[in-house]
């Protein structure tokens, strides 16, 4: 029971195939800890994004992608639950900041509610906008321009806006797909600090090709190679004493 | 003098005689010159056309006055009692165009969504998209013939009109004519909506309908709007499809079921036996139509340009 409480998501035998003859993610088993940051790392094309996108069922938007296995969260198999419901509980932040260009900053934050047809009164809207923007440290920067379009912000601000947009729905789990790869080093540092703080509120899985980032911010790490989960465990342990030779080769720069 | 100009480094870009002479000696510059000469033909033709439209309509505008020509609804050429006004044709054109647009919007939007979003990248979308483009290229006389022998009997059988020739049936054929343009261009703009924006909406738990409403249409909106503006431009000038269905009468249309004439169809009907003042009046109508379609197309192009920048 204690084990279940500490685990937000249990990935069981998860496989993803883009074409019938090849598994891009092959039989992955892993527990994702609650209120911690879990990093998925590995070289390009190893299936880390593919694994991440299976969790909030993004593969269903495209034809011909097969996902099998089980994803247990809060007693439900996410693969057998209504996809819209899953995505409301599992937020996502993408590689490139993608605020809705036709919406204001405030409307971007509230997009999750308006998209789901949830009606809010004015004070609820204000509370959600302020809380979400505060949680990503953007409130003081944009509080006077809430009605302006989100696309006028800098890249780093846009990405924080997108994190706030995902947090506004109060998800149990937040998926981040290389959220700093399109940002400069200063914006990256801001986002990394933010992610570290956010784990109080939400469990986070972050995909990164940056080993240093994984080591800096995560408590648990997964190393994937050629679609396989090679090793997973405590981040410090995995970095200081990897048990698999491929992990060691990746961490020392011999493969990648 | 020539020697002096040759020394100018940018002589080939200016239209000085020296520049031309030096350009003729250099094969690269000669080709540039050839391109310039060929490209200049286009604006020249346009200006020449506009010039003859204006010069040939001076007689009619002088006789009736520009304002009276546009606002009068009398069109009669009895010897000695000439009076002519283009209002019935302007009204006929605008009525048939906007009615056609009204019929066109739901069809072209659904085709655009089918091709550009729901079945994007699939074989069925490619097939439907190609057929749509094919329809756009069919000569308008074929639409007219189809309208006359297929659509007209249906309209008569439905009891909408006695002869089946009226503004309503003309608009229906016109709508079929412009749907391919509007659909094909709208589909392009719908396709251009970035996948990452749609994914962002889906990741917040949106259904497909909500993604269309809050992401696809707002992002592609100005592009779709410009597609319809360009379709209006097409409809305004469409001649054969309308001439064969509208009834070709020169009085003011009183309802959608009455016969009428558009600016294009009155010219098509009467240019053969017109001379003098009547011919000049037809030129005057042509000038109005030219200005109207040019303005509409220009607005459409500007909007498309803006939509693409966004």
Tell me the per-residue pLDDT of B230-253, one tens digit each, with 9 for 90 and over.
Answer: 899 999 988 888 888 888 888 888
pLDDT at B15 over 70: no
Residues from chain B contacting residue A52 (CB–CB below 8 Å):
none
Q: β-strands A76-77, A66-73: how paired?
A: antiparallel
- Identify the pLDDT of residue B288: 94
Query: Which residues does chain B have within 8 Å of residue A88's beta carbon, measured at their own beta carbons?
Result: 204-205
Q: How far apart are CA A114 and CA A100, in angstroms?
A: 13
- The pLDDT value given to residue B79: 65
Strand, coil or helix: what is A92?
A: strand
Average pLDDT of every residue of chain B: 87
Contact A84 B207 (CB under 8 A): yes
Give yes or no for a contact between B274 and B193, defined as CB atoms under 8 angstroms apart: no
Contacts by B60-68, CB closer than 8 A, 24 or more apart: B60/B84, B60/B277, B60/B280, B60/B281, B60/B283, B60/B284, B61/B284, B63/B277, B63/B280, B64/B281
- The pLDDT of residue B256 is 82
Query: What CATH number does domain A2-251 carry, 3.40.50.150, 3.30.750.210, 1.20.1250.20, 3.40.50.300?
Result: 3.40.50.300
- The count of C-alpha atoms lying within 13 angstroms of the C-alpha of B15, restricted to the half-sphere facing its C-beta, is 2
Element (H or E) spanning A192, and its range? helix A185-198
Q: Verify whether the Cβ–Cβ distance B203 to A114 is below 8 Å.
A: no
Positive or negative: CA dihedral A94, A98, A99, A100: negative
**pLDDT at residue A2 in the model:** 45
Could you tell me whether strands A173-177 and A90-93 are parallel, antiparallel, or unpaired per DSSP bridges?
parallel
Least CA distance to B217: which residue of chain A?
A: A102
Q: Which of B124, B198, B205 to mutate to test the interface with A (most CBs of A within 10 A)?
A: B205
Model pLDDT, residue A103:
92
* Torsion angles phi and psi, residue A22, rounded to 5: -140, 130
Q: Number of A:B CB contacts under 8 A? A: 71
Domain ranges of chain A: 2-251
Instruction: Map residue A223 onto helix, strand or coil.
Output: strand
pLDDT band at B48 (very low <50, low <70, confident <90, very high): very high
Q: Are A85 and B205 in contact (CB under 8 A)?
A: yes
What is the C-alpha separation between A179 and A162, in angstroms, rounded?
10
- Whether B203 sits inside 8 A of A56 (CB atoms) is yes
Question: Could you tell me the pTM of the whole model?
Answer: 0.82
**Looking at beta carbons, which residues of chain B come within 8 Å of A111?**
201, 204, 214
From the candidates A58, A98, A114, A151, which should be mutated to test the interface with B, based on the most B CB atoms within 10 A? A98
Contacting residues of B for A101, CB less than 8 Å apart: 197, 219, 310
Average pLDDT value for residue range B255-273: 87
Q: How does pLDDT run across B25-34, given as a tens digit for each residue?
A: 888 888 999 9
Name the more confident of B172 and B23.
B172
**Mean per-residue pLDDT pooled into runs of 10, chain A (256 residues):** 74 93 93 95 92 95 92 93 93 94 93 88 93 92 91 92 94 95 91 92 93 94 94 94 93 86
Mutate to test the interface with B, among A100, A152, A171 (most CBs of B within 10 A): A100
pLDDT tier for residue B310 given thresholds of 50, 70 and 90: low
Residue contact B215–A100, C-beta within 8 A: yes
Cα–Cα distance, A31 to B198 (Å, whole number): 30
End-to-end CA distance of chain B: 51
User: Which residues in B have their CB inside 8 Å of a CB on A?
Assistant: 122, 194, 196-207, 210-211, 214-215, 218-219, 221, 310
pLDDT confidence of residue B255: 82
Q: How many Å lie between the alpha carbon of B179 and the closest alpha carbon of chain A?
A: 27
Nearest CA in chain B to A174: B203
**pLDDT at residue A129, rounded to an integer:** 95
Pairing of strands A220-225, A37-41: parallel
Burial class (CB in 10 A: 0-12, 13-18, 19+), B148: middle
Q: Which residue has the higher pLDDT, B6 or A71?
A: A71
Q: Do the Cβ atoms of B197 and A101 come within 8 Å?
A: yes
Could you read off the pLDDT of B87-122 as tens digits, one per residue? 999 999 999 999 999 999 999 999 999 999 999 889
pLDDT at B6: 46
Could you give the CA distance from residue A14 to residue A5 in angstroms, rounded to a whole number? 21
Pick the residue from chain B with its C-alpha nearest to A151.
B310
Q: A98 contacts in B (CB within 8 Å)? A: 194, 196-197, 199-200
Of residues A62, A155, A147, the one with CA closest to residue A108? A147
Q: In Å, what is the CA distance from B57 to each residue of A8, B25, B50, B86, B133?
A: 80, 46, 11, 13, 37
- Domains belonging to chain B, first-starting first, are 2-64 (no CATH), 88-309 (1.10.3720.10)
* Cβ-count burial A220-255 (b if 16+ within 10 Å, e if not): bbbbbbebbbbbbbebeebbeebeeebbeebbeeee
- Does this complex have an ipTM over 0.85? yes
């Amino acid at each position: 029971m204690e084990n279940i409480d500490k685990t937000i998501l249990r990935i069981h035998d998860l496989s993803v195939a883009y074409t019938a003859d090849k598994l891009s993610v092959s039989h992955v088993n892993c527990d994702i800890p609650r209120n911690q940051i879990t990093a998925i790392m590995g070289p390009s094309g190893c299936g880390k994004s593919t694994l991440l996108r299976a969790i909030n069922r993004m593969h269903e938007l495209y034809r011909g992608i097969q996902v099998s296995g089980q994803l247990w969260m809060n007693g439900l198999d996410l693969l057998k639950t209504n996809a819209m419901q899953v995505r409301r509980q599992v937020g996502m932040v993408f590689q490139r900041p993608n605020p809705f260009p036709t919406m204001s900053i405030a409307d971007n934050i509230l997009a999750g509610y308006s998209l789901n047809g949830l009606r809010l009164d004015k004070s609820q809207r204000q509370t959600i906008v302020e809380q979400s923007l505060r949680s990503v440290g953007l409130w003081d920067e944009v509080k006077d321009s809430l009605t302006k379009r989100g696309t006028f912000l800098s890249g780093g601000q846009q990405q924080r806006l997108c994190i706030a947009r995902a947090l506004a729905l109060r998800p149990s789990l937040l998926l981040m797909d290389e959220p700093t790869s399109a940002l400069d080093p200063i914006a990256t540092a801001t986002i990394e600090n933010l992610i570290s703080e956010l784990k109080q509120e939400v469990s986070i899985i972050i995909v990164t090709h940056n080993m240093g980032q994984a080591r800096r911010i995560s408590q648990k790490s997964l190393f994937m190679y050629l679609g396989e989960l090679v090793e997973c465990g405590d981040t410090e342990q995995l970095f200081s004493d990897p048990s698999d030779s491929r992990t060691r080769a990746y961490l020392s720069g011999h493969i990648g | 003098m020539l020697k002096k100009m040759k020394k100018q480094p940018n002589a080939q870009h200016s239209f000085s005689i020296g520049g031309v002479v030096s350009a003729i000696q250099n094969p690269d510059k000669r080709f540039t010159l050839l391109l310039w000469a060929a490209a200049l033909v286009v604006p020249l033709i346009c200006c020449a056309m506009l010039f003859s439209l204006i010069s040939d309509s001076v007689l009619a505008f002088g006789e009736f006055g520009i304002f009276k020509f546009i606002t009068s609804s009398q069109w009669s050429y009895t010897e000695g009692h000439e009076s002519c006004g283009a209002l019935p044709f302007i009204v006929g054109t605008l009525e048939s165009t906007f009615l056609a647009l009204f019929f066109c919007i739901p069809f072209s939007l659904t085709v655009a969504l089918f091709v550009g979003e729901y079945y994007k990248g699939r074989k069925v979308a490619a097939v439907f998209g190609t057929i749509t483009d094919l329809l756009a290229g069919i000569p308008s006389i074929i639409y007219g013939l189809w309208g006359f022998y297929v659509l007209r009997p249906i309209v008569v059988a439905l009891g909408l009109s006695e002869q089946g020739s009226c503004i309503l049936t003309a608009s229906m054929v016109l709508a079929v004519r412009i749907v391919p343009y509007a659909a094909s261009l709208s589909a392009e703009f719908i396709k251009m909506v970035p996948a990452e924006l749609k994914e962002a909406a889906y990741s917040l738990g949106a259904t497909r309908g909500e993604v269309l409403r809050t992401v696809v249409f707002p992002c592609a909106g100005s592009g779709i709007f410009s597609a319809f503006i360009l379709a209006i431009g097409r409809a305004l000038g469409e001649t054969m499809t309308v001439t064969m269905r509208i009834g070709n009468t020169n009085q003011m249309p009183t309802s959608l079921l009455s016969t009428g004439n558009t600016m294009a169809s009155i010219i098509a009907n009467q240019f053969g036996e017109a001379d003098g003042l009547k011919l000049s009046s037809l030129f005057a109508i042509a000038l109005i139509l030219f200005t109207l379609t040019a303005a509409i197309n220009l607005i459409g192009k500007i909007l498309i340009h803006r939509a693409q920048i966004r």
